[in-house]
Amino acid sequence: MATVTIILPKRAFEVLRRRAEFEDKTVEEFVSEVVLERLSMADPEVKVEFHLGLCEKYVREAEEFLTKGDYVQASEKAWGAASQMVKAIALKEGRELKSHAALWKYMDELSEKLADEELRRLWRTANALHQNFYENWMPSREVEHAVGDVKILLERLRKAV
């Protein structure tokens, strides 16, 4: 994946940030999706590569935030990694997931398809981290264990990519 720096007026960035937040996405994810759509990137492999790249980036960032003791940001990055992996797998099947409900429904189907009930528990753990980003209620050791569970989830899901 290539990295690009974009300079925007502060008000434009705030509109962008609010729109991304409304769609429960990072600014980076939102902008990338808009650009890919605008360029008519119909090739699903490009989108799969995009989501897998974000997954790896978010895992690294989660680990960095754990090292710094920023458990709130580590929580959100780990959740982001899990959601990006699920989106990549769905795209491989020609499905695009655009909501939390769609992610949950797909994970239910995927755990059945892969005959792996443990995926359900690991997915719930990733979602608890997402909630922790907003509420900051998890003790630090629990965040560390939950991030470890997300890494296990990612390893199990890589088999489906």
85 and 151 in a single domain? The answer is yes
Domain containing 34 equals 9-42
What pLDDT was estimated at residue 40? Answer: 56
Q: Are residues 132 and 81 in the same domain?
A: yes
In the predicted model, residues of the chain with pLDDT beneath 50 are: none
Query: Residue 43's pLDDT is what?
Result: 72
pLDDT of residue 36: 74
- 150 and 126 within one domain: yes
Q: Is residue 3 part of a domain?
A: no
Query: How many domains does one find in the chain?
Result: 2
Contact 83, 123 (CB under 8 A): no
**Whole-number percent of the chain with pLDDT over 90:** 68
Q: Is 123 part of a structural domain of the chain?
A: yes
Residues in the chain: 161
Domain for residue 85, yes or no?
Answer: yes
* Residue-level pLDDT at 128: 97
Cα–Cα distance measured from residue 38 to residue 125, given in angstroms and rounded to the nearest whole number: 34
Q: What is the pLDDT of residues 110-147, one digit of tens each?
A: 999 999 999 999 999 999 999 999 999 999 999 999 99
Task: State the pTM of this model.
Answer: 0.82
